[in-house]
A and B are shown apart, each in its own frame.
Chain A
Amino acid sequence: MSKAFWRRFCRNKGAVLGLLVLAVALVLVAVGPLLAPNDPWDMVQQPFLAPLQEAGFPMGTDTMGRDIFSGVVRGARISLLIAVVSTAVSLLIGVGIGAVAGYFGGWVDATLMRFTELFQAVPSFALAIVLVAIFQPSVGAIVAAIAIVSWPPVARLVRGEFLSLRQRDFVAAAQLAGLSTPRIILTQVLPNAASPIVVMASLMVATAILLESSLSFLGLGDPNQMSWGYMVGSARTVLRQAWWMAVFPGLAIVLTVLALNLVGEGLNDGLNARADGRSR
């Protein structure tokens, strides 16, 4: 990460804002228990307390008198954890399959891409629901389900990059120098495909948060973990009496996803060295 990268990144004001929002979210995850000492599952006050009505409950309470602020803070931890881990796993699968398919081409490529299309043919959210239902809802199962439904686009992107990079002369030169194939893939081709992968990863974290929230909204979240999606889901029935129950976790989701998208765009600018001096 060079100076030039930061200069280009910071030229995108939205990306800087997104980075700030993400930093706040991470601080919440780290020091959350100090700010919101209540257990999000405990009944600590009377139900349906409006925001700021009572000191110590800035976001009010829910149908059972649980502290919503504690829930949002605690939910940040589980939402971000699931999003980051599932993105990492799907990157591993996607980059691996895409790299092999794109580098070797031919029947290897054809086989792996048909396999990828198998996953792309099924609507991803429906597949995620089925997977979670089969495995029983738990953090592990949700991570696995999200990873399994979100790797195919990565594989296709990486394959495309590899197909074109494979033809470059520097790959031929590395072959002539006697470098082994895994070494060529890792040291010659992959670094050149890194920027689109990084940008895509930032957007995948955002979609993973949405997927996890949607699963929890449907009651398929981990029953032992407070998450944003579960909170929005449980507020559904009382939306007209207690708007704050849905609005605060919902805002948390919107802000985080928006921030990740902005950062993704900033990374795109920052990693694209050719954009230097042109446009913008």
Chain B
Amino acid sequence: MSALPHMGAQPAAAADAPVLAIDGLDIRLPAGADRALAVQGASLQLRAGQTLCVVGESGSGKSMIANAIMGLLPGPQVAPVAGRILFQGQDLLQLDEAGLRQLRGSRIGMVFQEPMTALNPVMRIGEQIGEVFDAHLRLPAAEKRQRILAALADVGLPDPALLIDSHPFRLSGGQRQRVMIACAMALEPALLICDEPTTALDVTTQAQILALIRGLQHRRGMAVLFITHDFGVVSEIADQVVVMQTGCIVEAGDVQQVLRAPRNAYTRQLIAAIPQGRARQPVGDAGAPLVLQVQDLCKTHVTGRGLFSRGRRVEAAKDVSFDLRQGQTLGLVGESGSGKSSVGRCLVGLSPFESGRILFKGRSLLSGGPLMRQSGGKIQMVFQDPNASLNPRQKVGAAIAAGPIAQGVPVHEAQARCRELLALVGLGAEAADRWPHEFSGGQRQRICIARALAMQPELLVADEPVSALDVSVQAQVLKLFAEVRQRFQLAMVFITHDLRVAGEMCDHIAVMQRGRVVEHGPAAEVLTNPRHAYTQALINAVPRLAA
């Protein structure tokens, strides 16, 4: 305990020794889990000034390693059972809670995935960073405030003197993540652990945060352990890469070598699954019937309206217009808050719009609930979160057949159609008798597609259908979308924040910013020759494989 190295008092001999060395780490899972060990025989080394990316799909055990280093594994059921975690030569697994506490925050910093929930909403920003100092140092109030201001300025936040006394709700997701990084970096740790710090952020914000982490690392010379599922991010930030599959390290090495010449089949598969953003050639002749015409659609969200207050008005859509023909796909692209999802929900009738017209097969539709009745289920939607879009208490078959039955299709016919569609989406008819929780995220998204298809729709609105999925699953689901579009001659509105996905899926792309369509054109043209500054910024922010 008392032998802990204090800040800045590193033995000179340890300079080229690894900051972090994990040796044969096993982490067990509770009985009844899908495998016995969450992490099996993991070994890795990380030197000062280097970034090591741990890459893998969800469930591969990559976050378990980060939590094991910090001593944050949940209780006796999930615990390290073998191996060593050497941090500056000290085995963290042998340390007790008090010993770990001295290291956390001061020698090892951690940044989490979800910036919206990682900050305490009722504490001022300054107080939250101040806690780090309080836990490890004793500083006079004035000096503490100075150091907090310095920490905020260090992560590139504008106007630290104002921010220090603000509450988290005033900050955007990217700014909150900067505050989290400021917390983690406050005491200049030797090791920074980042657990998917940019996954919840927009692509432009992601680029800024990655640049920030890289810049801080160069200045401070710390080691960064970066956990991600995105090979694009890896190529932007990593020096070393470790690829994990179901708890085992399947490939490790220098970033250039792993990206250029992956030795392992799984790594090759992961890299191949990354959408390349190759623009699709527009299909469907111009003479195909118009399915959807949107004219000057306007939608305003009013928040915080009470009995005596007018509330805050946000324009989610302002004069949005586009046409869509049978068999064609339009991509709505933009950052979160750009209004792309609001437009999608207006199109299917889940939320009303104020003005403008939506014409479905030449017929003008009313706004909101009546739109749903008028369209008779021919406009369907696939949602973002496959966990929330299936009723956990309803069997898959019943969920798919419920729609056609409500539209008057005889029960046995609806069930036959349901089995047929389940086979079509690659799940097999026997999936009908199972519960949603028995399926993985990608399989659930397939079920959702089958459910939408059961209504024999003519227009499919897909709201970020692959952004919650792993990259290899994402590729399969996108392929399925392309297949059903071809087979049923569907018109599709594909909402996404990912330009690479939009390029592969869409014939036309409309880029939205703050409720307005700022650029609209054929996919190839928008991607290769963007005219609007915002589109250019979006395209430049997309992480690219260096290879």
Contact = CB atoms under 8 A, between A and B. Distances in A.
A172 B383 CA distance: 9
Interface string B368-399: 00001100110111011100111111100001
A192 B407 CA distance: 24
Main secondary structure of the interface of A (DSSP, over half): helix
Q: Point out which of A169, A183, A194 has the most chain B C-beta atoms below 10 A from its C-beta.
A: A169
Interface in B132-162: none
B406 A169 contact: no
A179 B406 contact: yes
A183 B402 CA distance: 10
Contacts of A179: 402-403, 406
A178 B372 contact: yes
Contacts of A168: 388-389
Contacts, number: 81
A180 B406 contact: yes
Given A176-B381, A183-B406, A278-B30, A192 B393 contact: yes
B58 interface: no
Contacts of B388: 168-170
B406 A176 contact: no
B33 interface: yes
Contact of B381 (A173, A183, A277): A173
A7 to B, nearest CB: 10
B26 to A, nearest CB: 19
B422 to A, nearest CB: 16
A194 B404 CA distance: 26
Interface residues of B, number: 38
A175 B385 CA distance: 17
Interface string A163-196: 0000011101111111110010001100110100
A224 interface: no
Contacts of B455: 176-178
A170 B391 contact: yes
B39 interface: no
Interface string A6-49: 00000000000000000000000000000000000000000000
Contacts of B372: 175-176, 178
A104 B317 CA distance: 25
B94 to A, nearest CB: 26
Interface string B193-229: 0000000000000000000000000000000000000
Interface in B13-66: 30-33
Main secondary structure of the interface of B (DSSP, over half): loop
A48 B381 CA distance: 76
A176 B350 contact: yes
A177 B389 CA distance: 13
Given A178-B406, A277-B32, A277-B33, A173 B389 contact: yes
Contacts of A173: 381, 383, 389, 448, 451-452
B348 interface: yes
Interface residues of A, number: 23
A180 B437 CA distance: 26
Interface in B385-428: 385, 388-394, 399, 402-404, 406-407
A237 interface: no
B391 A176 contact: no
Contact of A191 (B349, B393, B402): B393
A170 B376 CA distance: 18
A194 to B, nearest CB: 8
B77 interface: yes
A169 B393 CA distance: 14
B341 to A, nearest CB: 12
A177 B391 contact: no
A177 B381 contact: no
A5 to B, nearest CB: 13
B390 A170 contact: yes
A191 B393 CA distance: 6
Contacts of B11: none
A152 to B, nearest CB: 23
A183 B405 CA distance: 12
Contacts of B389: 168-170, 172-173
B8 interface: no
Q: Point out which of A174, A183, A194 has the most chain B C-beta atoms below 10 A from its C-beta.
A: A174
A183 B394 CA distance: 13
B379 A278 contact: no
B34 to A, nearest CB: 10
Contacts of B390: 170
B350 A178 contact: no
B467 to A, nearest CB: 14
A57 to B, nearest CB: 52
Contacts of B392: 192
Contacts of A192: 391-393
Contact of A178 (B391, B407, B437): B407
Contacts of A187: 394, 402
B373 A169 contact: no
B169 to A, nearest CB: 20
Nearest to A180: B406
A187 B350 CA distance: 19
Interface string A243-272: 000000000000000000000000000000
Q: Point out which of B383, B389, B402, B455 has the most chain A C-beta atoms below 10 A from its C-beta.
A: B402
**5 tightest A-B CB contacts, nearest first:** A177-B403, A169-B389, A191-B393, A169-B383, A170-B391
26 contacts: A169-B384, A169-B385, A170-B388, A170-B389, A172-B350, A173-B383, A173-B452, A174-B402, A174-B403, A175-B372, A176-B348, A176-B379, A176-B381, A177-B403, A177-B404, A177-B406, A177-B451, A178-B373, A178-B403, A178-B406, A183-B406, A187-B394, A194-B393, A273-B437, A276-B32, A277-B31
Interface of B: 30-33, 74-75, 77, 348-350, 372-373, 376-377, 379-381, 383-385, 388-394, 399, 402-404, 406-407, 437, 448, 451-452, 455
